[in-house]
Amino acid sequence: MQLEDFYGRLVKVAGQENVAYLPATAKKISAIEITGKYIICHRCNQKTNKQLAFLPNGNYYCPQCIQFGRLTSQDLLYTIAEPNRFPLQTAPLTWSGKLSALQQGCAVDLQLQTSRKKDFLLWAVTGAGKTEILFPTIAAALKRRERICIATPRIDVCNELYPRLSAAFKQTSMVLLHGSSSMDYRYSQIVICTTHQLLKFKNAFDLLIIDEADAFPFKGNRLLQTAVTNARKKISSLLLLTATPTSEMLRKVKQHQLKLGYLPLRFHGHLLPVPQIILLPSWKKQLQRQKLAQNIIRPLQKWLQAGWPVLVFAPQISLLELLKTSLKQFTTNQHLTTVFAADPHRIEKVQQMREESCQLLITTTILERGVTFPKLNVLVIGADEPVFTEEALVQIAGRAGRSSQRPVGEVIFACSMLNRNLSRAIRQIKFLNHEGAKLNNNALSKVPTSDTK
Amino acid sequence: MHCLKCQRLIQNKSLLKWFFSWTPIEQENLCAVCRADFLSLKSESICSGCGRFQTTPELCSDCHEWQRKITGDLLKNRALYCYNQAMKDYFLNYKFHGNYQWRLFFQSAIAKEVGKFTHQGWLAVPIPISDQTWQQRGFNQVEGLLEKVSFKRLLKIKANSNKGVQSKRNRQQRLKMPQPFELNDKIQVNDKKILLIDDVYTTGRTLYHARSLMLAAGAANVKSLTLAR
């Protein structure tokens, strides 16, 4: 093992392994601490009852972070403090695009707060161009020779971020880490990973960015929250990006622990599409008979004839096939398919949708965020089911109208009845549109029109 | 209680029925969705010699082969589950990644099945693992499954038996493997009915080695029970 692998990382070394090559500065931690009734794992910092963690040979192991390799009370963890051994860069940003006036305002604020090592929440609507807003901040941090991590709970989002960032920062060393990534760990200045991978780092990052910070499984997961606190340096800044902040984040904003940046307008300056609600009291029964009501068939047929791609969301995997067969009767179009989390062809199908070789994709909440299909229209069936939370509905509605070729899209929520999640989601979209419209008017009066994209 | 496999909350259904049954709460460790991935084997559709999943209860080709090789009855192995993808994942996690918590999943199913034998005077004997594996893994995977059952450690691995992990050998190499076990106490076996217990029946070589040792020490009858086939 190389010395570089220990920088800002927690590396497991079995008790009998020779570690003479490590310098005296390397810190040794025993992997499992045994207290009275509990054991504490020093990788994931979780307490486990001894009864759930014992092994018959007298040792203990941590069952909570076992997916990264088992740690037993025989193991040791070594770490070397992050030395920030990176080349000095004067112009790290190799991106030629330009930010809109609104994005620029947000980016300047962000850059200022991160240089002061403050925590920041960027609340930007879906499709606001969050990644691009980050570029000046990342560039400034690279100039300071800082180590940066962009973590997100979703593998799809990781995979989408990596090519975009490596195109924007061509000279910077970068690595993509997640459970099914083909890349091995190597010491690099930018790390793009899933939030689970943060468990392997210790006091490593000067700037830690969490994209989609409200998504499952990061939201409300204590293990991952502590992973974040451990992975960043003592003096560092944490940046949360989201389109639908949780109440906990907003509480921290009120307590002045988090600075808030706010972007209620998309990069193309258009407002979010407001979902239309269609009541279908017995859609489940109709679907069992492979039928669908005319008032959702009609708009669907209209969309398909116009040649727009359509994303249909269903609350359960078991409904996907039923929907597929019933939709096939009403459309002559054969380019429709289904995709769900455990689908072996998931990535190819999403790619087909992107290339427009498939026009209608039926899916579950897995595609609620992080994917962009141009010119899209969205239909949610059973929008009042509990899987569609307020955040999920806002995100789903945000799939439409993301490209500047077709900045308006249509969104239909079909439900058997109106519920709290639905009305709150629509209220949130309308609130953001209200704020956005105000900004739009201001921006138009202040900045010359040629600058606003 | 959360499912130990997928971390989802386990919904406890039929509470009223449980209430009037006057039995203690049985702690579920696996949710219904995860449990449905494991295919449990019914006696009408398995090979009567090794417990393999097939359409008819006749002997499979492997068992015909064993019948030629050995003298006396076949093991009449009973397997609880089919060795499908879910079971492979289970053993990967439990045995090789060493997640000892996962022993809890099938304990009650095994206890029920072993109970049927021990009531009729059978003696449960788990297949042992080598000292080296024990140190590395920290537990014996078969004994982990048998926490709710009383058993006797009658077998042990010979000190000079060849090293290496079984699962890394192919079928031919496995079938040529020499006797790896010896008995701790010969007197205890004499005239007893022995139920050998292992985690997986793959070629049957391990269990037939244990069987021949038991018969040589004077066991009256030897059968076997495995978690998967």
Percent of chain B with pLDDT over 90: 37
Summarised one tens digit per residue, pLDDT across range A278-317 is 999 999 999 988 888 888 889 988 998 888 899 999 998 8
Q: What's A101-263's CATH class? A: alpha beta
CB contact A341 to B (< 8 Å): no
Interface mutation vs chain A, best among B4, B93, B134, B139, most A CBs within 10 Å:
B139
Specify the 3-state DSSP secondary structure of A281.
coil
* Closest Cα in chain B, distance from residue A158 (Å): 22
B-chain residues within 8 Å CB-CB of A70? 97-99
Q: Is pLDDT larger for residue B169 or for residue A334?
A: B169
| CB contacts < 8 A (A, B) | 30
Summarised one tens digit per residue, pLDDT across range A191-205 is 999 999 999 999 999
CB contact B53 to A (< 8 Å): no
The H or E element containing residue A13 is strand A11-13
CB contact A36 to B (< 8 Å): no
CB contact A167 to B (< 8 Å): no
For A398, which DSSP code? T
| Residue A134, pLDDT score | 93
In sign, the C-alpha dihedral spanning A186, A189, A193, A199 is positive
A-chain residues within 8 Å CB-CB of B100? 54-56, 61, 63
β-sheet with A76-79: strand ranges across:
A11-13, A76-79, A27-30
* Closest Cα in chain B, distance from residue A243 (Å): 26
Q: Do A55 and B134 touch (CB under 8 A)?
A: no
Confidence tier at A452 by pLDDT (50, 70, 90): very low
* Closest Cα in chain A, distance from residue B4 (Å): 10
Summarised one tens digit per residue, pLDDT across range A333-368 is 667 888 887 788 887 888 888 888 888 899 988 888
CB contact A14 to B (< 8 Å): no
CATH code for the structural domain at B62-73+102-228: 3.40.50
Mean pLDDT of A415-430: 92
Lowest-pLDDT range of A78-87, A114-123, A372-381, B17-26: B17-26
Nearest to B98 among A52, A54, A70 (CB): A70
Nearest to B138 among A52, A55, A63 (CB): A55
* Closest Cα in chain A, distance from residue B23 (Å): 24
Return the top range by mean pLDDT from A9-23, A102-116, A257-271: A102-116
CB contact A55 to B (< 8 Å): yes
- CB of B28 within 8 A of CB of B20? no
B-chain residues within 8 Å CB-CB of A56? 100, 138-140, 143-144
Mean pLDDT of A181-186: 86
| Residue A448, pLDDT score | 45
Q: Do B97 and A70 touch (CB under 8 A)?
A: yes
Superfamily of domain A276-343+350-439 in CATH is: P-loop containing nucleotide triphosphate hydrolases (3.40.50.300)
d(CA A49, CA B140): 21
Closest by alpha carbon to B8, among A323, A139, A217, A377?
A217
Summarised one tens digit per residue, pLDDT across range A223-251 is 899 999 999 999 999 999 998 888 888 89
CB contact A386 to B (< 8 Å): no
Interface mutation vs chain A, best among B4, B33, B101, most A CBs within 10 Å:
B101
CB contact A57 to B (< 8 Å): yes
Q: Do A61 and B98 touch (CB under 8 A)?
A: yes
CB contact B100 to A (< 8 Å): yes
CB contact B96 to A (< 8 Å): no
Summarised one tens digit per residue, pLDDT across range B26-85 is 778 888 888 888 999 888 888 888 888 888 888 888 899 898 888 888 888 999 999 999
In sign, the C-alpha dihedral spanning A213, A216, A222, A223 is negative
* Closest Cα in chain A, distance from residue B99 (Å): 7
The H or E element containing residue A310 is strand A310-313
Q: Do B100 and A66 touch (CB under 8 A)?
A: no
Global pTM value: 0.79
| Residue A86, pLDDT score | 93
In sign, the C-alpha dihedral spanning B218, B221, B226, B229 is positive
Mean pLDDT of B148-172: 80
User: Which DSSP string do the residues of chain B spell out, in sequence order?
Assistant: -B-TTT-PBPP---HHHHHHHT-PPP---S-HHHHHTS-BPPGGGB-TTT--B-SSSSPPHHHHHHHHHSSS-----EEEE---HHHHHHHIIIIIS--GGGGGGGHHHHHHHHHHHHTTTEEEEEPP--HHHHHHHSS-HHHHHTTTS-----EEE-TTSPPS-GGGS-HHHHHT----EEES-STTTTT-EEEEEEEE-SSSHHHHHHHHHHHHTT-SEEEEEEEE-
**A338 phi, psi to nearest 5 deg:** -120, 155
- CB of A161 within 8 A of CB of A134? no
A-chain residues within 8 Å CB-CB of B135? 57
In chain B, whose CA is at the least distance from the CA of A15? B136
Confidence tier at A14 by pLDDT (50, 70, 90): confident
CB contact A59 to B (< 8 Å): yes
Interface mutation vs chain A, best among B100, B145, B153, most A CBs within 10 Å:
B100
Closest by alpha carbon to A401, among A243, A267, A273?
A273
| Residue B163, pLDDT score | 60
- How crowded is the C-beta side of A95, counted as CA atoms within 13 Å? 20
The residues spanned by each domain of chain B are 62-73+102-228
Percent of chain A with pLDDT over 70: 96
Same fold, A101-263 and A276-343+350-439: yes
d(CA B101, CA A428): 44
Summarised one tens digit per residue, pLDDT across range A392-422 is 999 999 899 888 888 888 999 999 999 999 9
Closest by alpha carbon to A263, among A87, A136, A23, A440?
A440
Lowest-pLDDT range of A61-65, A136-140, A214-218, B206-210: A214-218
A-chain residues within 8 Å CB-CB of B139? 55-57
d(CA A286, CA A280): 10
Both tokens assigned to A146: 């800082």
| Residue B162, pLDDT score | 64
CB contact A70 to B (< 8 Å): yes
Task: Verify cis geometry, omega within 30 degrees of 0, for the bond prior to A136.
Answer: no
The residues spanned by each domain of chain A are 3-79, 101-263, 276-343+350-439
Q: Do B99 and A56 touch (CB under 8 A)?
A: no
* Mean of pLDDT over chain A: 88
Nearest to A66 among B97, B134, B143 (CB): B97
* Closest Cα in chain A, distance from residue B20 (Å): 30
Report the relative pairing of strands B193-200 and A38-41 from DSSP bridges: unpaired
* Mean of pLDDT over chain B: 87
B-chain residues within 8 Å CB-CB of A52? 101
In chain A, whose CA is at the least distance from the CA of B8? A217
CB contact B99 to A (< 8 Å): yes
B-chain residues within 8 Å CB-CB of A63? 99-101
A-chain residues within 8 Å CB-CB of B2? none
Q: Do A70 and B139 touch (CB under 8 A)?
A: no
| Residue A447, pLDDT score | 46
In chain B, whose CA is at the least distance from the CA of A49? B101
d(CA A232, CA A82): 10
